[in-house]
Amino acid sequence: MKALIQNGEVRQVVPTPEGGGNPFEVNDDFEWVDCDESVQMGWSYVNGVFSPPPSPPAPTNAEMRRLLLPADSIRLEALWEKVVRGNSQPSDDLEVQIQDIYTQYPI
């Protein structure tokens, strides 16, 4: 495999052509480097070593709540059911779900 490097970043990974050599000519801003099949676009190449990009940071509790809590429209519908129609069951289930999320991902 060959990795196309620009400014220390892998821009492309392609199979080594039959007979060796580089897949195609590049200008001085780029460099072909031999690599194994694990190397992917976006990896860094520094001092002859390939490295994957760092893992993204874990989501914050606020981000997790935003992902897991029901949309405002669902909460409003549940509130409508509870207050206006006197049907508390859907809202009670929703309140338990919301409380569970806030317990797991506190403010």
Domain ranges of the chain: 2-51, 61-104
Local structure of residue 7 (DSSP, 8 states) = T
The burial of 98, by beta-carbon neighbours within 10 Å (0-12 exposed, 13-18 middle, 19 or more buried), is given as: middle
107 residues of the chain, pLDDT tens digit each: 999 999 999 999 999 998 888 999 999 999 999 999 999 999 999 999 999 999 999 999 888 887 887 666 666 666 656 666 666 554 567 677 777 777 888 76
Residue 73 structure tokens: 């429209």
pTM score, whole prediction? 0.56
